[in-house]
């Protein structure tokens, strides 16, 4: 009879899987390697997960659960829009540095290596953040904290693009080097990163088209 894994051991198994998927993608990851690194047999792993795809799904769910918790912790307050945006940026900076394998795994899915999974997981992965960010924008519009000539779903999409690239920049080699090209030595200055991104958001969020004057 197979011994039941503790919650701690299951968590360790998922973290081991996330690291392997982050390194090799869902296609290239090896279940035998994952089981060995986690200190269990493949048979035990398959007792809990039907196949590699089911295990990958569990790993993905774990990472999304952590991200959702992080976002909800900072978005539910009564602060003004830019204050909540600042808290969100700082939270995502910490999340990226503490959970780099989560970001790398997500990056692999979005690349050509994860093409097989794009249609399967796009709605699931993006659905959570799309709901949170759209609600964030809609609430700000209702409170009068943001320009009123926007489509909140589009703005949520643009907002997510900024935050997604920020996370990639902290964790994924190409995007890290890309950030260094643009930001130079200041890339590692978290405070300046927050400050400059908030300036960008403030302009995007607060100026209606009729208020923008273009010099001829």
57 in a structural domain: no
* 13, part of any domain: no
Listed in sequence order, the residues at least 6 apart from 194 whose beta carbon sits closer than 8 Å to its beta carbon are 86, 89, 90, 93
Residue 24 domain-assigned (yes or no): no
The one-character DSSP state at 45 is: H
pLDDT in tens, 18-46: 999 999 988 889 999 999 999 999 999 99
Count of domains for the chain: 1
Tokens of 52: 């590699």
Crossing angle of helices 152-171 and 190-206, in 10° steps, is 170
- Four-residue CA torsion sign, 149, 153, 154, 160: positive
In a domain, 38, yes or no: no
Q: Domain for residue 133, yes or no? A: yes
In a domain, 45, yes or no: no
Query: Has residue 103 been placed in a domain?
Result: yes
Range of the domain at 94: 63-208
The CATH number that applies at residue 186 is: 1.10.357
Per-residue confidence (pLDDT) for residue 108, from 0 to 100: 86
Full-model pTM = 0.87
Residue 128 lies in a domain: yes
- Taken in order 139, 161, 107, 57, the sign of the CA dihedral is positive
pLDDT in tens, 78-121: 778 888 899 999 999 999 999 999 999 999 888 765 566 677 77
């Amino acid at each position: 009879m197979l011994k039941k894994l503790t919650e701690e051991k299951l968590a360790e198994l998922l973290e081991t899987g996330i690291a392997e998927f982050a390194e090799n993608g869902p296609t290239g990851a090896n279940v035998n390697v994952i089981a060995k690194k986690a200190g269990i047999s493949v048979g035990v792993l398959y007792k809990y997960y039907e196949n590699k795809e089911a295990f990958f799904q569990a790993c993905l769910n774990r990472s999304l659960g952590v991200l959702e918790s992080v976002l909800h912790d900072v978005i539910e307050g009564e602060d003004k829009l830019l204050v909540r945006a600042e808290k969100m940026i700082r939270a995502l900076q910490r999340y990226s540095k503490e959970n780099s394998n989560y970001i790398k795994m997500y990056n692999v899915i979005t690349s050509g290596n994860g093409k097989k999974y794009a249609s399967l997981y796009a709605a699931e992965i993006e659905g959570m953040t799309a709901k949170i960010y759209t609600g964030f924008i809609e609430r700000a519009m209702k409170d009068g904290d943001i320009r009123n000539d926007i489509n909140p779903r589009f703005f949520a999409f643009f907002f997510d693009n900024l935050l997604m690239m920020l996370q990639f920049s902290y964790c994924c080699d190409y995007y890290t080097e890309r950030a260094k090209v643009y930001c130079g030595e200041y890339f590692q200055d978290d405070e300046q990163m927050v400050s400059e991104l908030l300036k960008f958001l403030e302009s995007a969020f607060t100026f209606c088209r009729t208020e923008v004057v273009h010099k001829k």
